[in-house]
Amino acid sequence: MMIPGISSLIFMSWVLSSEIASHRTNPEVIPQSTLHLTPSLFSAHDTSELSTVCTEDCVLRESLEEPLGSSQQLDYETIFSNGSRILTTLMVQVPQLYPRVEKKGNTLRNRRQVYGPDVRFSIRSRRYLRDFPFATAVRVSTGCTGVLITERHILTAAHCVHDGQDYVQGARKLRVGFLHPGIRPFLRWVRVKSIMVPRGWVGAPAELSMDYDYALLELRRAQSHPHMSLAVSPPMQDLAGGRVHFSGFDSDRPGELVYRSCRVEQQTAHLLYQHCDAQPGASGSGVYGRLRHKGRWRRKVIGVFSGHQWVEVSGEPKDYNVAVRLTPQKYAQICYWIRKASFSCLHE
């Protein structure tokens, strides 16, 4: 379970001490070929919770940054409501890099923090539920959460629609629910037209599956609700207060939207480790931070809440709640999924 509890936090030398380099422009993803696949059987069981174990071998692989020009993991499947599937292969074109020199922190440290009372709180005010950022959260019919990132696109976790081998049963007639506040709040459901899942998720080893645990849902029609912009996940020191935030439909509070915020403990090239209180149902929430943009602080989605991971360090397990970071490559891929034109994403 995704339990915050009381943990002893020890960050060993395997944790990344340097961050992803900054770039003047984003990588460009260029479609290469398409292949029609056999229709899905929708044979997997729905799950709103993902829990993995990362051994020391896994930790070593996680500490390596993704080659900027790699594209195999960014190839993607598109599935439509009739079960037909298309595989699209991509090429990644890397722009000129402008690395930012960052000081390395002390990578061997012992730090103990106590996580006691549940610090989540439910959003019940009509005004807040109708406004940004809370109005961007949606309920996914398979039991997860998602975030509206354009008028007709939802970002969520891949495991909410696909178990790594096949699409879940509930993905056949997938819907998303928009919460309407009132004396008796209710969800207004909208049908999903298509689903896009990265090949990095499909068939990945369980311990590395979280790296690409994200998916994009295209709705049948545009929505008038507020939506939240995406951003490349920044170095930790560029987050206001070093904190992340997300709102989800946690299973222990049915019918309520639950908000939480916490400090980032550490991050690798692909994953963001934290101890935000969460329960099944919150998976797929858009994890956002406050980033400086043109002289102002703005909330932007920088990751997707995936679930719980046990990390083994020197044979001792440590538990974290984990979000998938939006790397420059993932950001470019999602932008292409939305716009179907890579050049429009280069200078965002």
266-295 burial, b if ≥16 CB within 10 A, otherwise e? Answer: bbbbbbbbbbbbbbbbbbbbbbbbbbeeee
Higher pLDDT, 18 or 64: 64
Whether 321 is covered by a domain: the verdict is yes
| pLDDT tens by residue, 52-98 | 888 767 766 666 665 544 567 889 999 998 999 999 999 888 765 44
User: Which pLDDT does position 266 carry in this prediction?
Assistant: 87
Higher pLDDT, 51 or 307: 307
Whether 157 is covered by a domain: the verdict is yes
User: Which pLDDT does position 105 carry in this prediction?
Assistant: 37
Higher pLDDT, 92 or 25: 92
Whether 3 is covered by a domain: the verdict is no
Mean per-residue pLDDT for 213-240? Answer: 95
Confidence bin at 109 (pLDDT 50/70/90):
very low
Mean per-residue pLDDT for 193-213? Answer: 88
User: Which pLDDT does position 283 carry in this prediction?
Assistant: 96
User: Which pLDDT does position 67 carry in this prediction?
Assistant: 55
Whether 114 is covered by a domain: the verdict is no
| pLDDT tens by residue, 111-132 | 333 344 667 778 777 788 889 9
pTM of the model: 0.85
Angstrom distance (rounded) from CA 254 to CA 179:
12
Whether 111 is covered by a domain: the verdict is no
Higher pLDDT, 322 or 21: 322
Counting the structural domains of the chain, the total is 1
**How high is the mean pLDDT of the chain?**
82
Which region among 6-10, 172-176, 209-213, 320-324 has the lowest average model confidence (pLDDT)?
6-10
Higher pLDDT, 103 or 297: 297
User: Which pLDDT does position 27 carry in this prediction?
Assistant: 83
Checking if the pLDDT of 256 tops 50, the result is yes
Whether 151 is covered by a domain: the verdict is yes
Confidence bin at 9 (pLDDT 50/70/90):
very low
Assess whether the previous peptide bond of 99 is cis (omega < 30° from 0): no
204-218 burial, b if ≥16 CB within 10 A, otherwise e? Answer: beebbbbbbbbbbbb
User: Which pLDDT does position 25 carry in this prediction?
Assistant: 64
Domain span holding position 41: 26-97+120-342
User: Which pLDDT does position 65 carry in this prediction?
Assistant: 62
Widest CA span of the chain, in angstroms? 54
CATH code for the domain of 309: 2.40.10.120
Confidence bin at 2 (pLDDT 50/70/90):
very low
Which region among 12-21, 101-110, 143-152, 259-268 has the lowest average model confidence (pLDDT)?
101-110
Whether 92 is covered by a domain: the verdict is yes
User: Which pLDDT does position 297 carry in this prediction?
Assistant: 92
Angstrom distance (rounded) from CA 172 to CA 22:
40
The type of residue at 280 is P
User: Which pLDDT does position 168 carry in this prediction?
Assistant: 96
Angstrom distance (rounded) from CA 153 to CA 217:
6
Beta strands in the chain, from DSSP E residues, in sequence order: 7-11, 28-37, 51-54, 76-80, 85-93, 109-113, 121-123, 137-140, 144-150, 153-156, 175-180, 186-198, 215-219, 243-248, 257-267, 271-274, 286-293, 296-313, 316-325
Whether 229 is covered by a domain: the verdict is yes
